[in-house]
Amino acid sequence: MEEKKSFLIEKIDIKSPNKNIVPITSSIGSDGKLSIGGCSIEELVNKYDSPLYILDEATLRNSCRAYKKALEKHYPGESLPIYASKANSSIFMSNLISSEGFGLDAVSEGELLTALKGGVPNEKIVFHGNNKSDKEIEFAVNNNIKVIVDNDYDLERLEGISNSLSIDLEIMIRFTPGIECHTHEYIRTGSFDSKFGFGIEYLDTLFARVSNTKHLKLKGLHAHIGSQIFELDPHRDLGEIMVNIIIDAKKFGHNIKELNVGGGLGIKYTENDDPPSIEEWVKTVSASVLKACKRNNLELPTLMCEPGRSIVSTAGITIYKIGAFKEIPGIKTYLSVDGGMSDNPRPITYQSNYSACLVNNPFNINPKNKYTIAGKHCESGDVLFKEIELADCKTGDLICVFGTGAYNISMSSNYNRIPRPAALLVCDGEAEIIQRRESPLDLLKYDVLPDRFIKQN
């Protein structure tokens, strides 16, 4: 029988981590077990328990550097990569991306505060959102953070604040370019029916409106067309469309100096995925902006992009411990793990696929069993893998799920009052906690029993 090759045998592309399933420091120790960042996964679980989120620092930094280097190589003007912190927001992540020279995009006061606490300079933070609260807008303005105007409501409030304080405010505006791309409909944002940003047909009216304000200065233009995208054409088209809009805005007296193309580059979750490299993506965007600027004799704007998933997803893994087995003869065998939809809601939300291996048999030698990997939540749909082939395994063995750095911890919940796992950073054989494990008691912190109920009991 031909032995099935493990994805762990594939050559690792250290320059563009999004092209690998596994973190770039993945290796198999002399004991035949999985190690990441020089740390034995089994030892980490013995010390920190499971489930466990782990981030590999080398993979994170290589992803950041790939964006920085590619922008320097392919775009002769100024540029600033901005990390989309919704992918994985923490004081640690803010600090790391800032140390790599990145800016940060936030969509709530919580994300803004996290960025500031992590040391991201205010001038490198942008504030997004289709329904910002008054408090959030004030927080951004008071902290000199640039607001990306998403709609008229944002504009009215910023105009009001700038007039009442008699200060000039630099703004960016977000528009929907009407570009379709092939990704899950929930994570597609650039089409005309999107809830985000101004319709392209409304932009002239908007430019005229902004010109009539006393203190709002239109500094930049933003668009984001979607997430987990493998095609390059949508971003090539976007660069060109945005340059044309900058030219159009000149008729209204606006000199737009910043062009932010959003994020969206996909990553390799499974062997069926083949995303472009970070360099190819940056090169495509840069070339299209450059070409359009040259043709129109336009001074090069500062080029910004907002990657989230392609910075952090491949750096992250989640480790689970196997618990119960349930065999339904002739139908399927369930293998249940100690986490599930509360630490990774993507499979149940988007039917997302991942890759996984056994920590003590990473090459998956003799994968003769088909399992459905179920989470521990009270929900039939709480299934992490509908079908996966694994070698023999038993209760207590560890499973490593790859590609969980983005939109896992940031979208996690406490469904069924299950505490969130701890998150570790690994580097050169050392592991450090970057988020402490919650305890069931932590989950009671915000519960309140009104006095009259206490008296009754």
Positions that interact with ligand LLP (CB under 6 A): 84, 86-87, 105, 128, 187, 189, 224, 227-228, 262-265, 306-310, 346, 350, 407, 411
Closest distance to ligand LLP from the beta carbon of 173 (Å): 13
Nearer CB in complex with ligand LLP: 228/342:
228
Closest Cα to residue 161, out of 216, 220, 88, 80? 216
Nearer CB in complex with ligand LLP: 228/284:
228
Closest Cα to residue 214, out of 161, 142, 250, 154? 161
Closest distance to ligand LLP from the beta carbon of 69 (Å): 18
Closest distance to ligand LLP from the beta carbon of 27 (Å): 27
Q: How far apart are CA 131 and CA 153, in angstroms?
A: 8
Q: How far apart are CA 290 and CA 310, in angstroms?
A: 23
- In this structure, the dihedral spanned by the alpha carbons of residues 390, 392, 394 and 398, taken in order and rounded to 10 degrees, is -50
Q: How far apart are CA 335 and CA 370, in angstroms?
A: 10
Nearer CB in complex with ligand LLP: 351/439:
351
Cα-flanking dihedrals φ and ψ of residue 56, to 5°? -100, 115
Q: What would the two tokens of residue 434 be?
A: 């970057």
Nearer CB in complex with ligand LLP: 187/298:
187
Catalytic residue status for 393: no
Closest distance to ligand LLP from the beta carbon of 273 (Å): 13
Q: How far apart are CA 263 and CA 11, in angstroms?
A: 26
Nearer CB in complex with ligand LLP: 83/363:
83
Q: What would the two tokens of residue 411 be?
A: 């979208």
Catalytically annotated residue among 181, 293, 305, 378: 378
Q: How far apart are CA 270 and CA 402, in angstroms?
A: 9
Residues 6+ apart with CB under 8 A from 394: 322
Closest distance to ligand LLP from the beta carbon of 187 (Å): 4
Check: CB of residue 265 under 8 Å from CB of residue 278.
yes
List the catalytic residues.
378
